Amino acid sequence: MRYSNLSNFIDGKSSNPGVPRMERYSPVDGELLSSLPLSDAKELDKAVQAAKKAFADWSQWTIKERTGVFYKYYELLSKRLPEIADIQYHEMGKIPAEALQEVGKSLELTEVACSMPQMATGDFEEVSRGVECHDVRVPLGVVASITPFNFPHMVPHWTLPNALVLGNTMILKPSREAPYTVLKIGEMMKEAGLPDGVLNIVCGGREVVNAIVEHPNIQGITFVGSTKVAQMVYAKGCANFKRVLALGSANNHLILLPDAHPANSAANIAASYLGCAGQRCMSACVLVAVGDVDPIIAKLVEESKKFVPGVNMSAIVNTEAKANIIGYIDRAEKDGANILLDGRGAKPPAGKEKGQYLGPTIIEAKAGSEIAMEENFGPILTIVRARTLDEALDIANSSPYGNGGSIFTQSGRAAEIFCKKIQAGMVAVNVGVPVPREPFSFGGWKNSIVGGGDITGKSSFGFWTKLKKISVKWNPDKPVNWMA
């Protein structure tokens, strides 16, 4: 076993509940990595009680004192990027270069939290003669963050630094596919001086999630994962009167116009649908090809062939996910779709025969077909044809999801029309992965999100706090006239 049997991280210590355990095998080469506890409601309650106790003190620290811990954490993390990236590589199969980029994003998100004393200040005004109003951000209390497998280190950093700097204490529930990557965050936060109980990490599956949405002492929940679970977490969390923000699945559309720069477009689109082997909620999924773009598509096919599974392309997270992706390709083929590039027979490199790999796949299909409408979360680009930009926008906007969208063109007018009309939360021009960089916030539209606001950036400050509005009058000589 590469790593030892894993424990939860509660109240600054390891916790080993007497619950069943799950073994975790690496998608890189099938190696047994670790086992993790499938925690239950009792273990979750233990974590909540620790977080509740810690809140009494942590919430009284000044914001600058709390930020001080994150400056130290930033320093520690920046020295240990390769170690974290290596764990992530083994746990969920993301090639080291991509894993390093991801941990780099965690650093950038920590920077935002460190700037909170400057960015999260409140308002002040003399609202009437001698009467002043100001507002104060008050933390919610114990909050929870439930995270997916595909960005196991970055997604916790969407929530954890901001929520904690703003004075909350947290239960973090990682994906079962990458628990050690997340437990390392707890270890390093403790080393950075985070008091015990402020961050608690509880491993497991749906039992923990169900316990989170029902626990009376949890005030706020964020979720990132598939739409089906996002909607369940939102519905149950709200029914229990919690504040909830839940991010879900995606099926991002890219529009390719004939005037696009051929080499840049081909390289960007290939990197977008093949990065992390397509296991990104901002990956290119559907390419809407407008008019005669066949020379660019031919380049895209050639560009895609440069991605070799297990060499410069990540693994698929597990056997079930791989079978699910293959199922989509098989059904599209049966449905009469034209497979331009088929990754089903990809051979793993020597020494990685037991790994989970799929090669780049490009499928030309009908708009509205299953492969064009559903998220498959694999290294597949589905091409559908359109005659005009308007028709392409209609196709893109018929998706039930609205996470991201991009256009490839050299026409400013076409780009302007696209940005105005595309129904997605994060859009881009000539950029394959339309994720905004910090401090701009992250959040999709339509079925890619449930709840108000984005998960990062300024709108997250509002999510993690409640405002207290204070009115003060100290001048007895001035008559009270609220409307003066």
Question: Which one-letter DSSP state was computed for residue 309?
Answer: B
Name the residue nearer to ligand NAD (CB basis): 69 or 146: 146
Task: Report if residue 205 touches ligand NAD, rule: CB under 6 A.
Answer: yes
Residue length, the chain? Answer: 484
What residue is closest to ligand NAD based on CB? 225
Task: Report if residue 249 touches ligand NAD, rule: CB under 6 A.
Answer: yes
Q: In what order do the strands lie in the sheet with 199-201?
A: 13-15, 8-10, 199-201, 169-173, 142-146, 220-224, 243-247, 449-450
Buried b (16+ CB within 10 A) or exposed e, 350-360: eebeebbbbbb
Q: Which residue has the tokens 């009437």?
A: 128
Angle at 274 between CA 270 and CA 277, to 5 degrees: 175
Name the residue nearer to ligand NAD (CB basis): 271 or 435: 435
Name the residue nearer to ligand NAD (CB basis): 386 or 449: 449
Smallest separation (angstroms) from ligand NAD to the CB of 317: 8
Task: Report if residue 170 touches ligand NAD, rule: CB under 6 A.
Answer: no
Q: How far apart are CA 440 and CA 381, in angstroms?
A: 27
203 is catalytic: no
Which amino acid is located at 281 in the chain?
C
> End-to-end alpha-carbon separation of the chain, Å?
73
Name the residue nearer to ligand NAD (CB basis): 167 or 425: 425
Task: Report if residue 84 touches ligand NAD, rule: CB under 6 A.
Answer: no
Q: How far apart are CA 90 and CA 461, in angstroms?
A: 34
Burial bucket for residue 455 (CB in 10 Å: 0-12, 13-18, 19+): buried
Angle at 73 between CA 70 and CA 79, to 5 degrees: 145
Part in contact with ligand NAD (CB under 6 A); list of ranges 95-103, 142-150, 181-189, 290-298: 142-150
Task: Report the chain's C-alpha Rg in angstroms.
Answer: 24
Residues 427-446 that bind ligand NAD (CB under 6 A): 444
Determine which residue in the list 37, 93, 148, 275 makes contact with ligand NAD, applying CB under 6 A. Answer: 148
Task: Report if residue 224 touches ligand NAD, rule: CB under 6 A.
Answer: yes
Question: Which one-letter DSSP state was computed for residue 453?
Answer: S
Tokens of 156: 């916790």
Task: Report if residue 452 touches ligand NAD, rule: CB under 6 A.
Answer: no
Determine which residue in the list 88, 110, 272, 403 makes contact with ligand NAD, applying CB under 6 A. Answer: 403
Name the residue nearer to ligand NAD (CB basis): 105 or 299: 105
Q: How far apart are CA 229 and CA 336, in angstroms?
A: 32
Task: Out of 203, 281, 285, 419, pick the active-site residue.
Answer: 281
The contact pattern for ligand NAD, residues 271-300, with x = CB under 6 A and - = no contact, is: ----------x-------------------
Angle, helix 206-214 to helix 227-239, in steps of 10 degrees = 30
Determine which residue in the list 37, 161, 167, 248 makes contact with ligand NAD, applying CB under 6 A. Answer: 248
Task: Report if residue 175 touches ligand NAD, rule: CB under 6 A.
Answer: yes
Name the residue nearer to ligand NAD (CB basis): 81 or 209: 209
Chain positions contacting ligand NAD, by CB under 6 A? 146-151, 173, 175-176, 205-206, 209, 224-226, 229, 247-250, 281, 375, 377, 403, 444, 448
User: What are the residue numbers of the active site?
Assistant: 281
